Structure 1
Amino acid sequence: MSSSSSNLVTVGRITGVFGIKGWVKVHSDTEPRENILEYSPWWLKTRHGVKPVEIDQAKPHGNGLIAHIKGVDDRTLAEGYTKVDIAVERDQMPELEDGEYYWHQLVGLKVISEHGGSPQLLGKVQKLMATGANDVLVVKGDKAELGSLDNKERLVPYVPGQFVTSVDLQAGEVRVDWDPEF
């Protein structure tokens, strides 16, 4: 991650408005989803810059959450906050146990396959996906820039001890036991 990328970590998104009193629909990337409500302030990444807001009410609704932004009391005002990412300050996030990582720590790491004995660079982690059974690393090769094996995109199950053999944040790499043919 570049040092210019600030201290903010994206944890969700405001996806739409709810009702006429300034409530918004929230998609949370936290686990469990209600954990997003424990952070304050939320930093909204609008096209006019990053803006801190305070949530004064929130509750589960359907598959997501709805929240009320303090001082936003009608639908028209709330519409100005839709389709924006919600970020929080990195130092507000709880410390993890050894061997546990936040998704944002894994994005951008080089992925090296040790399958078959000789290490091969598959590419970089572009993003992660939750699939239900386990998370999946989306690894994008870039032969020209990275010197990776090829330019393929691979989906590697994030299963430590089985497919993921090590994560080294200092070295900026994830080592995997993954057949490059897949």
Structure 2
Amino acid sequence: MSDIQQPIVLGKLGSSHGIKGWLKITAYTDSVDGIFNYSPWLIKEQGEWREVKVKQWKPQGKAVIAELEGVSNREQAQMLTNCEIAIMPEQMQKLADDEFYWRDLIGCEVTNTNGYNMGKVDQIVETGSNDVLLIKANVKDAFGKVERMIPFVTEQFIKQVDLQGKQIIVDWDPDF
């Protein structure tokens, strides 16, 4: 594993389920079962990443549980409770040109169409109708802003996203 490429955390292993080594899964993917679109997983045990494969998984109420290769009893499963689940960046699904992973947008400089530097993307919030960029304003913002919220609505507010240059151009009043 290269030092340059850091694993991308997609979830974590929860408590053991039953006596045969199954584990509850907490997924950070869009859908709970979306985490199973990726294989193999990396799990972080005692600060070290190691590869594991999912033998099988199934829904359990509103959650999911999984059986991992090499884990065959409750005691082995309990040793993995709270371990992070990750994949390498090259395992990420290719997106359409107008779609972006949140992790790629965080840290981008945001400039409006008039050239005013609004700050950097600090977080992204899902609101149901659309995602919202939380922009941490520059320390000496001319409008006295500490934070801005800009809906991530392409064509209307988001005019251009340059992931290579870590730059987003928006049609947004800096005083708003």
TM-score surpassing 0.5? Answer: yes
The amino acid of 1:130's aligned partner reads E
The aligned counterpart of 2:55 is 56
Deviations along 1:104-161, one digit per CA (max 9) or x if unpaired, are: 22122112234xxx33323222332322222222322342xxx766672333222111
Stretches of structure 2 lacking an aligned partner (at least 5 in a row)? none
Say how many residue pairs are matched.
174
Return closer, same or farther for 1:97/1:77 CA change in 2, 3 Å cut-off: same
**Offset at 1:56?**
0.7
Q: Report the Cα distance in structure 1 between the residues aligned to 2:119 and 2:159, rounded to whole angstroms.
A: 16
Question: Residue 141 in 1 paired to residue 140 in 2?
Answer: no
**Offset at 1:46?**
3.9
The 8 Å contact of residues 120 and 148 in structure 1, kept in 2 or not, is answered as no
Moved more, 63-72 or 52-61: 63-72
The aligned counterpart of 2:150 is 156
Provide TM-score, normalisation by structure 2: 0.80
Larger Rg, first or second structure (1 or 2): 2
Provide TM-score, normalisation by structure 1: 0.78
The amino acid of 1:85's aligned partner reads E
The amino acid of 1:138's aligned partner reads L
Query: SS of the counterpart of 2:57?
Result: strand
Matches within 5 A, 1:1-182: 4-114=3-113, 118-143=114-139, 152-182=146-176
Moved more, 75-84 or 165-174: 75-84
The amino acid of 2:136's aligned partner reads K
Q: Report the Cα distance in structure 2 between the residues aligned to 1:6 and 1:58, rounded to whole angstroms.
A: 28
Stretches of structure 1 lacking an aligned partner (at least 5 in a row)? none
The 8 Å contact of residues 41 and 53 in structure 1, kept in 2 or not, is answered as yes
